[in-house]
Every structure is written in structure tokens, then in C-alpha cells.
Structure 1
Amino acid sequence: MQEYRNIYQIARESTGLTQEKASECMDISVDSLRAYEGGKRTPPDKVVIKMIEIYDTQYLAYQHLKTSAEVGQKYLPEIEIKELPVAILRLQKEVSDFIKLRDVMIEITCDGVIDEYERPQWNQIVKELDDVVEAIMALKFAK
């Protein structure tokens, strides 16, 4: 049986800190840290901020919002962590896809109104922008 490891435990273990040392650095009890790492409780934002600073991992902030906040679950894209060269190529591809729609975007928005017949093209532009944002985030957190 594989032991349960959540985002907080993985972040701590990646730094080589013990639960005792990490809890001391965060000024929380070892029992609290165990509860967070065991999935029994969700750490408050102020504790997660300390974890991010102590473990030196901004990706934990993203993971925390994506897993613990309803707004993060609903609106933050899934980010797949990739090797740096792959992340760079993906970003270049997504930017290129968006640039192909740049003139259409200008045409649609120059009058300040998105008409009903322009809506499908506008939705495609927004999707391409979402793809660019996701690629940027994947690059930011690349290995």
C-alpha cells in the first residue's frame, strides 16, 4: 500500500526538511503540520505563505489555490510541469497561434463592441489567450 503524500508533504520533502524542523520554522505544531500533510486539515493561507517561503516553491501557491479554493478549482487551468525546453517550445507555439488571430482581434474590437456574429471568433481568440497563459505558467514552473 502506497502512503498518501499531498502537495504540502511533497514540497517539504523536496527541501529535505523533517516535519519537526519545518514546523519549527513555521512556528506551528508538528501535529498541525501532520494534519496538513495527511489531508485531515487545509492549512490557512498564512501557513501556506510560510511554507512557500521556507520551501522556496512558488508552485505550491498555485497548487494550494487550485486544490483548496473553489475559485481556483473552477478557474485556474491545469498546469502540467514539463522540462524547460518543452515548456519554451509550447509557449512559442501558443503565442504563434494567438498571433495568427491578432488582426481578427483588432477588427472585432476596434468598434468597442463584440457583435453576435463576431462572438464565435472572439471565443476562439479568448481560448488562444487562455492557452498562452497556461503555457506561461507551465514555463514559470518548469523543471
Structure 2
Amino acid sequence: MKRTCENIYKNARQSAGLTQEQAAALLNVSPRTLSEYESGRIIPADDIVCKMVVVYKAKHLAYLHLKQSTEVGRRFLPELHILDLPRSVLKLQKEVKDVTDIHSEIVDVACDGEIEEHERETWGYIEKEILEMVGAGLSVIFAKG
């Protein structure tokens, strides 16, 4: 597992105010197994992460788990920065404005139904901006309230 994700499970548990022993009991795993997850030595199975999401009341953990522990997540899911709700909303508004500002470029490239060779660089920029907006939208959903 990547070093950057070794504490996502621990952070979620601690944010829920649970000790390892309490969380292990609620998750129906041993404290040692939970410790292995939290140290990054073992990646928890999806069913365990689903339990963690519910027990810890941490929807963002599902996303972070996929983003950091799977090749698909690492390659294709947008970055997620979990902030407080007001800052998340402001970030989303900024990203929506950025996409709105390139609306005419999006239409110009997409109107004929294909991305031509000379449009590839522009489309790459468009994709980047849209992914940033999607990430900001998810941040609002997962915001610390």
C-alpha cells in the first residue's frame, strides 16, 4: 500500500472517537488486525471498509480507500481535499467558475463529436478542469461539518 494512505483508517477511527479495541469489536475484527490496517501492513477488504464507513460515520473513507489502495483509483479518481464545509463550498464555486470560463472551448471541441489531433491539448486542459470541479464537488459532500 502507498505510504500516503497508511493512516486513513486510523484517522477515520480517531475522528469517530473510538479506541482500537472499541472499533475492532464493532467491526468484528481483532485489535491486532485493525492495527495491521492502521499501520498499512494489510489493506482491509472492501466489506471491512464498508463497515468502517458506517461505524465511523466517515463516507469519505470509502473514496480514500479506493483512491489510495487500488490502481484504478490512483489512476482515474480525482484528488480529494477534505476541508470544512464553507471552504469546500468556496472551492467548488471557484472550480465551477473555471469550467464556466472555458464553456466555449468545451463546445468548440465537442460539437462535432470527436476530438481532433489539433484539439487534444485543449481537451486535456478541459478534462483537468472538469476533474478539479468533480473533486471539489466530492469535497463538499464529504466536508467536515
Same fold (TM over 0.5): yes
> How many pairs are equivalent?
139
Which runs of 5 or more residues in structure 2 are unaligned?
1-5
Q: TM-score of the superposition, structure 2-length normalised? A: 0.84
The whole-number CA distance in structure 1 between the counterparts of 2:74 and 2:108 is 34
Q: Which residue of 2 aligns with 1:114?
A: 115
Q: Which residue of 2 aligns with 1:78?
A: 79
- Percent identity reads 45
Aligned amino acid, residue 65 of structure 1: L
Aligned amino acid, residue 75 of structure 1: F
1:107 CA drift (Å):
2.5
Q: Which residue of 1 aligns with 2:100?
A: 99
Residue range with higher mean Cα deviation, 119-128 or 130-139: 119-128
Q: TM-score of the superposition, structure 1-length normalised? A: 0.85
Q: Which residue of 2 aligns with 1:124?
A: 125
The whole-number CA distance in structure 2 between the counterparts of 1:71 and 1:95 is 25
1:66 CA drift (Å):
2.2
Q: Which has more radius of gyration?
A: 1
Which runs of 5 or more residues in structure 1 are unaligned?
none
SS of the aligned residue for 2:49 comes to helix
Aligned amino acid, residue 53 of structure 2: I
The whole-number CA distance in structure 2 between the counterparts of 1:114 and 1:6 is 41
Which runs of at least 4 in structure 1 moved beyond 3 Å after TM superposition? none
Residue range with higher mean Cα deviation, 64-73 or 54-63: 64-73
- Residues 67, 124 of structure 1: CA spacing in aligned structure 2 closer, same or farther, 3 A cutoff? closer
The whole-number CA distance in structure 1 between the counterparts of 2:79 and 2:112 is 34
SS of the aligned residue for 1:66 comes to helix
CA RMSD of aligned residues (A): 1.8
1:101 CA drift (Å):
1.8
1:1-143 pair list within 5 angstroms: 6-143=7-144
1:60 CA drift (Å):
0.9
Q: Deviations over 1:49-100 (max 9, x none)?
A: 1011110101111221222112222222332222222221111111111112
Aligned amino acid, residue 142 of structure 2: F
Aligned amino acid, residue 7 of structure 2: N
1:111 CA drift (Å):
1.7
